[in-house]
Amino acid sequence: MQSTSAQMAHMVNPTDLETVHVLGPMLRYVTEPSDDEGPCLMIGTVPTGVVVPLHSHADPETFIPISGEVEGLSYRSNQDFEWLRVRPGNVFHVPSGAKHGFRNAGTEPAVMYIVSTGRIGRFFREVGDRISPSVQPAAVSAAAIQRFLAIAARYGYWNATPEENAHVGIALPI
C-alpha cells in the first residue's frame, strides 16, 4: 500500500492551504476535515467591521489569536451576556452547544487558530466559497445568507434571528 501525506506525519506547506470565504470571515485549512470527527485545525481571519452572528452548534471550538483583536460573545441568556476582548495571548473556548458570536471593531483583521471537529470543517467547506487568499471576496448577498442558513439547519446548527443579534449588539449587514 502506498502512503499519502494524509496517512503519515508530514510538514504542512502554508502556501498550499485551501481557503474559503464564509460570509465575511475567511478560513484556511491547516489540517483536512476528517470524516471520523477527529480534530480540524484552521486559521480564521475576521476582517475589520465583520461580525459572526450569534449561533450555536454541537461542535466545540477553541480560538487562539495570532494577531489583531476581536470581541467574543459569552452568552448565558438575553439578560446575561458579556463581550470579551480576545487577542494574542488569550484562548477563547466555546463548549458544545454554547451560544456565541464575534465582532471585529478594531483597525486590523483578527487572525486566529481555530481548533474544532472535522464536521464543522466540512460544514465551512460546504457553505464557503473557495478563494485565493490574495483575492478580495465578493460582498455578502441575501441569497448567500439564505443558502448558509439552509445548510446550517441541515447540520442542526442554530442561528439567532436579526432581533436576537441586535439585542446583544450585533448589527447584521443585510
Query: Distance between CA atoms of 146 and 111, rounded to whole angstroms?
Result: 26
Q: What is the pLDDT of residue 1?
A: 45
* 12-54 pLDDT per residue, tens: 887 788 999 999 999 999 998 987 768 999 999 999 999 999 9
* 68-79 pLDDT per residue, tens: 999 999 998 878
Share of the chain above pLDDT 70, in %: 94
- Kindly state the cell numbers that stand for 126: 460546504
Q: What are phi and psi of 32, to 5 degrees?
A: -70, 135
In the structure, what pLDDT confidence band is assigned to residue 4 with cuts at 50, 70 and 90?
Answer: low
Please name the helix (run of DSSP H) or strand (run of DSSP E) that holds residue 143, with its range, or none.
Answer: helix 142-155
pLDDT exceeds 80 at position 7? no
- 115, with CB counted inside 10 A (0-12, 13-18, 19+), is middle
* 85-107 pLDDT per residue, tens: 999 999 999 999 999 999 999 99
Q: What is the pLDDT of residue 154?
A: 97
pTM over 0.85: yes
pLDDT exceeds 70 at position 141? yes
Give the chain's domains with CATH numbers. 18-167 (2.60.120.10)
